[in-house]
């Protein structure tokens, strides 16, 4: 079993204040025995503001400070940040602690529902996995959840679970899509999906840019058979859960979804 904590909160536009939140919530999660502590996409600074002036490299001050938090708590921290890329930025998941310090750059950019992430963000191209206590985790970010081939590729790379930080856009039917997609990606990859979203700003009376995807809450854990294992509500909260990697193997054997594919395999 691997104990994972999902920290559902609303980040601000101030990276220093958000670093304080990381420190506080890592302490809470580690106190409950978590080995992996997950924060949402855009944890460094939320969407709806200019991102380029806030961006820092993975070896910059913000990420190194998170690394120190992870080291002190003896956990792996996964948190959304923005890294420089010319006139644009990369939407990066920082992966730090337990001997790791690197990033995953979001592959699929949110050019949908009237929002154009690609105007300010450059897309990544490399999938990333990380092992914690013998359990391999794949990484994906928000809009990536709409692309099953990424999750199946991460399963092919040995992942028993996929960590999915998000800052989901609100709107009619969007909660239902979020819940459906999280469960579907778990089932069609035979992976646990650990989906950690930004809390809904309205739950704390936080004013945000209404045109930006700033979260709806409802962080969720789906097991490899697509069952909803645990879920939060709309407001800030901590979800701590134990995942069993053997269930991933059982799911893949039962459904045959990876072995029986005929399209999209190299």
Ordered domains of the chain (ranges, CATH): 2-255 (3.60.110.10)
- The single residue listed with the structure tokens 């940040």 is 81
* DSSP characters over 91-138: EEEEEEETTEEEEEE-SS--EETTEEGGGTEE------EEEETTEEEE
Residue range 110-139: mean pLDDT, rounded? 95
Rounded Cα distance between 15 and 21, Å, is 10
Partners of residue 147 on adjacent β-strands = none
- pLDDT of 174-228, one tens digit each? 999 999 999 999 999 999 999 999 999 999 999 999 889 999 999 999 999 999 9
Q: Are 241 and 264 in contact (CB under 8 A)?
A: no
- pLDDT of 77-123, one tens digit each? 999 999 999 999 999 999 999 999 999 999 999 999 988 999 999 99
Quick one: pLDDT at residue 266? 58
Rounded Cα distance between 204 and 40, Å, is 16
- H-run or E-run covering 193: strand 192-197
Q: Please provide residue 79's backbone torsions phi and psi, each rounded to the nearest 5 degrees.
A: -150, 140
Tell me whether residue 125 is exposed, middle or buried, using C-beta atoms within 10 angstroms of its C-beta: 0 to 12, 13 to 18, 19 or more. exposed
Residue range 239-255: mean pLDDT, rounded? 98
pLDDT surpasses 80 at 149: yes
- What is the average pLDDT score of the chain? 96
Quick one: pLDDT at residue 263? 84
- Find all residues with CB under 8 Å of 161, minimum gap 6, and list them: 2, 4, 135, 136, 137, 138, 191, 192, 193, 194, 243, 245, 248
pLDDT surpasses 90 at 265: no
Which residues does the annotation mark as catalytic? Answer: 41, 106, 142
Give pTM, 2 decimals.
Answer: 0.97
118-to-63, 84, 108, 231 alpha-carbon distances in Å: 23, 14, 9, 30
Rounded Cα distance between 189 and 256, Å, is 10
């Amino acid at each position: 079993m691997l104990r994972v904590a999902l920290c559902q909160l609303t980040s601000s536009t101030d990276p220093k204040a958000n670093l304080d939140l990381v420190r506080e919530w890592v302490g809470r999660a580690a106190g409950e025995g978590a080995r992996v502590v997950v924060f949402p996409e855009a944890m460094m600074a939320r969407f709806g503001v200019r991102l380029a002036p806030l961006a820092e490299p993975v070896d910059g001050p913000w990420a190194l400070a998170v690394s120190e938090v992870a080291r002190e708590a003896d956990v792996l921290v996964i948190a959304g940040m923005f890294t420089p890329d010319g006139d644009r930025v990369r939407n990066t998941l920082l992966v730090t602690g337990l001997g790791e310090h690197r990033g995953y750059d979001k592959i699929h950019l949110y050019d949908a529902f009237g929002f154009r992430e690609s105007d300010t963000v450059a897309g990544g191209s490399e999938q990333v996995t990380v092992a914690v206590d013998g359990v391999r985790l794949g990484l994906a970010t928000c809009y990536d959840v709409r692309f099953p081939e990424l999750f199946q590729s991460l399963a092919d790379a040995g992942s028993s679970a996929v960590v999915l930080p998000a800052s989901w856009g609100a709107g009619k039917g969007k909660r239902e899509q979020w819940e459906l997609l999280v469960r579907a990606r778990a089932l069609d990859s035979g992976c646990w999906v650990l989906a950690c979203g930004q809390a809904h700003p309205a739950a704390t009376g936080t004013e945000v840019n209404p045109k930006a995807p700033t979260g709806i809450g409802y962080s969720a854990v789906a097991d490899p058979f697509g069952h909803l294992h645990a879920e939060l509500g709309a407001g800030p909260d901590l979800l701590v859960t134990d995942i069993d990697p053997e269930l991933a193997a059982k799911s893949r054997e039962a459904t045959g979804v990876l072995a029986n594919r005929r399209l999209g395999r190299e």
